[in-house]
Every structure is written in structure tokens, then in C-alpha cells.
Amino acid sequence: MSAEQSAGDTRPENPGGYRLQMSGIAKSYGGVRAIRNADFAVRAGTVHALVGENGAGKSTLIKILAGAERLDAGSIQFDGAPTAITSTTDAIKLGVQTVYQEPQLFPELSVAENVFVGRELKRGVRVDWSGQADQMHNLLGTVGLADRVATVPVGTLSIAEQQQVSIAKALAGDASILILDEPSAILTDSEIEVLFTVIRRLTATGVSVIYISHRLDELFRIADEVTVMRDGATITTKPIGELSIRQIVELMVGGVVSESRPTDGPEPGETVLELDNLSRTNHFENVSLSVRAGEIVGLYGLIGSGAGDIAGVVYGMDRATGGRVLVEGKEVVVKSPAKAKRLGIHLLPANRSAQGSFSFQSIALNIVVGELPLLSRIPGWASGRKERSIARDFIKRLAVKTPSENQPISAMSGGNAQKVVLARQLVKRPKLLVLAEPTQGVDVGAKEEIHRIISGLADEGTAVLVVTSDLGEVLRISDRILVIRAGEIAAEFTPDATQVEILAAAAGADPEVIGAAGSPGTSGAHRASGTPASVSKETQS
């Protein structure tokens, strides 16, 4: 669309100028079907956006293309010729290069070494340093870095610069297809401009770019075509100009309607938690919100939005760099999780196995471990009998499926293990319960039950803050929904908002576009911040 097909001239039987054609792709992990049926075709010298909700199958598709995973079914053609990709080496040979979200670099080594590692130029057995220096000059120019950077250890560069190094590294490997996985998630606006300039420079030389991003507004500025995935299948591929943000979002969520929390509970009480312009540099800025007793506030954000970091600061795992935290009206400094617990704040951590479970220990210990002093009046003594009775109580209350409280938590399914970790937060009743991704990796039935437990807690007067990247979940259980985008509160919604509206706000849609197309049920205020996205693709040399 944008650039002439300059590199695909070797294959005459290649109508449409396709660099890559993947068709009928399927892939399962164990019994889980990550991709059911995907067709994906990328033209030479274009930017092709790949979008979809978390778990739609984008990452798996990219891994198959990069040779990190093998496909179960389907075929791949390169420049019109059938190809098998069975390893990362195969993919690299074909010119498929991936720039991952987190730069995969060697912090101690210089930029030049990072760029050439694994494919060093050689003179005899020696590394040809001067040959590499010659190439470095051009590569650094292409990605917009100064020559002097070549000798600097990568660990001393900014994240944005490291990403530029990653791109240079990909180019040194003669990339014909460059995959950029959420490249903008870690960048500031001006850094994104640099990235786009680099991308345009590349497509002009015939490189195809696959661009994965949750920030849909960007796509209109950089992409030529867009493919939408949902539930492991590709839904559509269209030139970007033929779609609006709203249409893309609708394709992503598939118009699924989810019911929200019944509002028959008691009216919310006093404010328990208040954040006043809370900031943590490079994570989130000026976040103000409040949670009242008996209220469930949903904090929704896409990966990298900073929503998860807010939970970390509230629970004292990370320090805020600005703003105030008030608990029941009193300003507090939560400098450790222990302090948070003294204030009555409990956290269900996002990463169950790493942050939530003592794998080889019994369910009983996993439940009571946070409150061992409660187990006996004698300091330092923990009664095993009391431990078991508390555990049995919670196993019944939360309907944990297990033959006994002595089972190790490692033997349990995701949903049951999550209930055990949740039970730990309830042994001593919290004033504020912060839940981070409470149903990640949990089966549908258990998810339903956990949602009911959370709802019940709120009805009993606990203030609940749910941080989640699960769109259905946030709509389902929240009394109010706050959308975090790029570290700031972008919008607030009531539970009768639609998935489309919320996702559009989180993905950075132009508020006016959404506002104009808003459904009758919309009552949430749109405090969308940020600059209006320009829908037309910029003209650039």
C-alpha cells in the first residue's frame, strides 16, 4: 500500500506481493486451543497491525512465525513458496526477526556487540571488529541513534534506546519481516514518534513490519492493514482506512454482552481508601481515586498500563514518588506489606505461584500463614489444632474442593489454589481488599464462584479494589470502573457501560469518536485524557 514492492521480485508466482502467507494455522497447548484457525497474510514493504484481546492468540501466532512454537496444522508460504518453520534458526534464515516487548539484550555488553551477537562478522577465527564498526554506522543511522552509542554498555541506555538497539539487532540479521510486539507500551509520546520514523524508513526499503499493539489510536498513524483476532481465530483483515477504532474494538470483543453485579446490596459506607494524586515515576502519574466500605471499584488497564503498579504501591510493595494515601481519612505512609496489613489492607497478588503460594506446604498452612499470632494466646506458639480448624472453616466457606486440609497447595487446580490464597486474606477481616487479577488462569466455574465471594465480601462491608486486565470481569463485579491508560486514569464508567466503550478508552480511542457513537446505555463520564488521535495517516517522506 505504502511502498513499492522492492524485495519480492524473485518469485514470479506471487500475486498480491505477499511476503508472508499463513493459512489454516492451529495450535494447542495440552488440551487448551490457543489458535483454532488463523489466516494471516502480510505484504512486502507494509506495516500490518495484529490486534486482539489478551488470550486471543496473537502471541501464539507470532511465536509460530518466529519458530519458538511449532504449529499443529496449517501452512506457511514465504514470497509465494511453501516453507516449514521448525526452529528459531529457520525463522532467522527466512529473515523473520522479533523485537520483544522487554528488550532481549545483554546489559554488560556494548551496543555494537549486542547488535552482532550470534552472527558476528569474522576474519579468520577472529571477530572482525572494524567490519562491524562499518556496518554499525549505517544501522545506528537507520534506527536513529548516534554513532558514539556503539561502544556504550546497553545496560546504561534508556528503555527507548534499548528498543532502538533491538531493532538495529534485528536489521543486522537481514530482516525481511520485523515483528514488533507491543513496541509502544514502554515508550513516551516523543519516543513513539522516533519509533514511527524508524518504521517508515524500514518499510521504504521493502521490510514488512508486523505491529502488535493495544493502543489502537496508533494503528491509524502507522499501519497499512489490520488483522483482528478473537478466541484463537482471525476475524478479519482490512486496510486500516476501512475501519474505525470503534469497529476494530467491536470485532475484538465480538459483541459479547456480560451481565453486571446486581445492585441490591447495601449502600456504600464511609470512604476507606483514598488516593490523592498518587504517582510512581515511570509507572503511573497523578492517580486519584477512592473506595468506600461495601463498594467494589474495578481498575481496568491493558498490559503495561500501570494499573498493577498502583496495587503494589497501595500494599506497600513499592514506594510512591508523589501524592498521598489516606486510609479512613488519615494520611498514611505504607512502607511495607506488614504496615499495610496493620492498616487492614490485604492483597491477593497477581502471580499466584510466585507471590501467593507456599507450594509444598499444606492448604492449612497456606491459609493461616499470614496470621500465625492468632493461632494461640502464647506468643510464638502456633496451635496445629486451631490451624486445622480455621482451614476447615474456610474450605467450607469458599467451597474449596480438596480431600483434606493437609493436601499440599501444589496438588490443586488453579481455581482451588486461588481460593486458598484468597482465604488467607480473609482470616483476619480486611478493611480494604486489593485483588490483582483474581481469576487469572482459573477455570470458568471457579471464576464464577470467586466473583460471588468477592461480591459477598463487599456486601458485608469490605472495601474492594479489583485490578484486572479481564474486560468481562471488571464489568461483572465492579460498582464503578476506572480505566487506566499510560499510567493515568483515562475514564470512569458505571457497570452499564459496554465492553466496547471500556476497551476503546483503555486502548486510547479518540473520546469524541466514542462519544459520538455512544450507546444509549452510556452513563459513565468520559474524562479521557491525552491528545486526540489523528485518524488520518500522516504524510511522511
Partner 1 sequence: MTLEKPTTGGEGAAAPARASAHRILPPPVTGQEFVLVGVIAVLWILLGIFTPAFLSPSSIQPLLVSVAPIALIGVGMTFIIITAGIDVSVGGAIMLCAVITAKLLVTYDVPLLVAVLLSIGIGIVLGVINGMLIAYGRVHAIIITFGTANIFQFLALRVFGSSTVNGIPSTLEVFGRGEAGRTFGVPHSFAITIIAVALAWWYLRHTSGGRHLFAIGGNTQAARLAGIKVQPRVVLAYGLTGALVGLAACFFIASGTSTLDQSIGSGRELAVIAAVVIGGTSILGGRGSVIGTLLGAVLVQTVTSGVTQLGWPSQLANLFVGVFIIIAVGTDLLRERARKTS
Task: List interacting residues with partner 1 (CB under 8 A).
Answer: 88-89, 92, 98, 104-110, 112-113, 117-120, 122, 125-127, 129-130, 132-134, 136-138, 141-142, 147, 150-151, 155-156, 169
> How far out from the chain centre does Cα 276 lie?
26
Q: Evaluate whether 67 touches 266 at the Cβ level (below 8 Å).
A: no
Considering the complex, state which of residue 88 and residue 247 has its C-beta at the smaller distance from partner 1. Answer: 88
In total, the chain counts a number of residues equal to 541
Least Å distance, CB 503 to partner 1, is: 31
**Coil, strand or helix at 164:** helix
Nearer to partner 1, 121 or 192 (CB): 121
Nearer to partner 1, 7 or 152 (CB): 152
DSSP structural state of residue 153:
B
Cell numbers 528503555 correspond to: 159
Cell of 450: 470467586
- Smallest CA-to-CA distance from 101 within 159, 157, 181 is with 181
The CB-of-105 to partner 1 minimum distance in angstroms stands at 6
CB of 96 to partner 1, least distance (A): 12
Q: How far is the CB of 151 from partner 1 (least distance, A)?
A: 5
Least distance in Å: CB of 39 to partner 1?
27
Positive or negative: CA dihedral 362, 415, 291, 293: negative
Measured from the CB atom, the residue of 120 and 512 that comes closer to partner 1 is 120
Taking the complex as a whole, the smallest distance from the CB of residue 317 to partner 1 amounts, in Å, to: 16
Block residue for cell numbers 474524562? 527
Min CB(350)–partner 1 separation in Å: 21
Which sign, positive or negative, has the C-alpha torsion 83, 85, 89, 94?
positive
Please say which residue, 172 or 251, places its beta carbon nearer to partner 1: 172
CA distance 15 to 36: 27
Q: Residue 505 in 3-state DSSP? A: helix
Q: Smallest gap, in angstroms, from Cβ of residue 443 to partner 1?
A: 30
Distances (CA, A) of 18 to 4, 5, 40, 176, 186: 12, 9, 10, 12, 30
Residue 129 to residues 111, 121, 138, 141, Cα–Cα distance (Å): 13, 8, 15, 18
Query: Measured from the CB atom, is 282 or 404 closer to partner 1?
Result: 282
- Is 151 or 288 the residue whose CB approaches partner 1 more closely? 151
How would you class 379 by CB atoms within 10 Å of its CB: exposed for 0-12, middle for 13-18, buried for 19 or more?
Answer: exposed
Question: Closest CB to partner 1 among 319 and 386?
Answer: 319
